Chains A and B, each alone.
Chain A
Amino acid sequence: MRLLRWLIALALIGGGVFWVLTRPAPVPPEYASLTGDAERGALVFAVAGCASCHIAPGAEPSDAPVLAGGERFVSDFGTFLAPNISPSSQGIGDWTDAEIMHAVAAGVSPGGAHYYPAFPYTSYHFAEPQDLADLVAHLRTLPPSDVESLPHEIGFPVTIRRGIGLWKMLYLSEDWTVAGAADAQIERGRYLVEGLGHCAECHTPRDALGGLDRSAWMAGAPNPSGEGRVPAITPGELGWSAADIAYYLETGFTPDFDVAGGDMADVVLNTGKLPPEDREAIAAYLVALP
């Protein structure tokens, strides 16, 4: 079914138009003029959770992780494998800063190909250029790995990266999901949750084409990593105070002193490194959700 829909979409749009519409965005020229701060970048790296996906399967979280890749992400469209993004020639060692920033924020490779959205660039898209520059400076301080990146296990037509250009037209939005932020704290929270923290990538359900269903923002979703569900974190469903949420993001303890597990364990180990104001901002954004 899904395959058919994709093929029809490809067929409807005539070859030339398709080529123009799906052209990857160029690298923003301002990227080249920025200088990154690796120390600030460590916090961007933490909240963005890059290591949760890019360390080798079974590796433990650490402050200087080896981003060798190899983790598998099973989806309706096939299985995607996280590549090596360590600073080596097998990873991003030979890329320019601007190329790395563009990959993260636009999902475009140095060669001008689209990345699959299993790499959550639809969220990272909101990242400030300076945060991206700091992130790259930090990536370059991490240990290198010579492990070769493995190919994805996907079939035609998903293999046509150019088709992702169409997908991006539908789902790579410039607009925040929560349009108005009542104050500066909620605005900061929105930046961290909708942007770098990519919380919706797990907590929001997806539609048939794998895009986030923004009408069910943070309403919980089937767990991509297997059984069970990722819980809803809207105020009505969660029922925690802002202080409860901030404490959970600091220590991993729920209000009942149960502890975060599974994929959320990585998230809280990361948010625990942030300054308290950032955890409070995330909490303020979540309790203000409809």
Chain B
Amino acid sequence: MIRSPLTLMTAAALALLGPLAVSAQDEEALQRAIDARQAHMQLYAHNLGILGGMARGNIPYDAAMASAAAADLGHLTRVSQQAYWPEGSDIMMEGSNALPAIWENLDDVFAKSGDLVEAVAAMEAVAGDGLEAVQGQMQALGGACVACHRDYQQEN
């Protein structure tokens, strides 16, 4: 696991904050966590839109742009998600599609996050090497997203 000192510090700070937020049972805090993680997911989608747009031939391949999008995905996978997932912030809350199974299978959720980190790293390594290299990584990357959504996100 690659972790910058900053992320580690954030994680430590959040670990202290986390339990407080949960025990307060503050609906608003849960809602903010849901909004934050959904925004995070949208940033994945945004950067994938750039790489996937190129892979699909909808926008011309540009090595610098592809590398930047892949690097952004890399940064996103290194953001601590600890405060995103307070227990109780699931489908019972307005606007969330997160299944309660997340909190019963945290090890598996972490494993699936780890698979995404690896798939993104593989994309980052080749994004600047040409269109075919990007195309070759899209399925593996999509598979890492799909594997988690399969078990933990309720279909819309």
Given A257-B48, A257-B49, A265-B147, answer yes or no on A252-B142 (Cβ-Cβ < 8 Å).
Answer: yes
A269 contacts B154, CB within 8 Å? no
**What residues of chain B lie closer than 8 Å to A258, measured between beta carbons?**
45
Query: Which residues of B from 105 to 156 have beta carbons under 8 Å from A?
Result: 138-139, 141-143, 145-147, 149-150, 153-156
Taking the nearest CB of chain B, how far is it from the CB of A260, in angstroms?
6
- Of A227, A231, A262, A272, which contacts B139 at CB under 8 A? A272
**What residues of chain B lie closer than 8 Å to A272, measured between beta carbons?**
139, 142-143
- Give Cα distance in the complex from A285 to B109, angstroms: 36
Q: Check B52 for interface membership: any CB of A closer than 8 A.
A: yes
Given A250-B139, A252-B145, A253-B142, answer yes or no on A262-B48 (Cβ-Cβ < 8 Å).
Answer: no
- Give Cα distance in the complex from A46 to B45, angstroms: 27
Contact residues of B with A, CB < 8 Å? 44-46, 48-49, 52, 56, 91, 97, 138-139, 141-143, 145-147, 149-150, 153-156
Q: Check A247 for interface membership: any CB of B closer than 8 A.
A: yes
- Of A223, A247, A261, which contacts B150 at CB under 8 A? A261
Can you list 16 A-B contacts (CB < 8 A)? A228-B154, A251-B52, A251-B142, A253-B138, A253-B145, A256-B45, A257-B45, A257-B52, A258-B45, A261-B97, A262-B154, A262-B155, A263-B155, A265-B150, A266-B150, A269-B146
A231 contacts B156, CB within 8 Å? yes
- Give Cα distance in the complex from A243 to B55, angstroms: 12
- Quick one: closest B residue to A256, CB to CB? B45
Given A257-B49, A257-B52, answer yes or no on A251-B154 (Cβ-Cβ < 8 Å).
Answer: no
B56 contacts A264, CB within 8 Å? no
B56 contacts A257, CB within 8 Å? no
- Of A230, A263, A269, which contacts B143 at CB under 8 A? A269
Most buried by A among B97, B145, B146: B146
**What residues of chain A lie closer than 8 Å to B142, measured between beta carbons?**
250-253, 259, 268, 272
- Quick one: closest B residue to A262, CB to CB? B155
- Give Cα distance in the complex from A97 to B155, angstroms: 37
- Quick one: closest A residue to B150, CB to CB? A265
**What residues of chain A lie closer than 8 Å to B146, measured between beta carbons?**
252, 259-261, 265, 268-269
**What residues of chain A lie closer than 8 Å to B141, measured between beta carbons?**
251
- Quick one: closest A residue to B45, CB to CB? A257
The 7 A-B residue pairs with the shortest CB-CB distance in the complex, in nearest-first order: A265-B150, A251-B142, A262-B155, A261-B149, A252-B146, A257-B45, A257-B48
**What residues of chain B lie closer than 8 Å to A252, measured between beta carbons?**
142-143, 145-146, 149
- Give Cα distance in the complex from A60 to B112, angstroms: 11
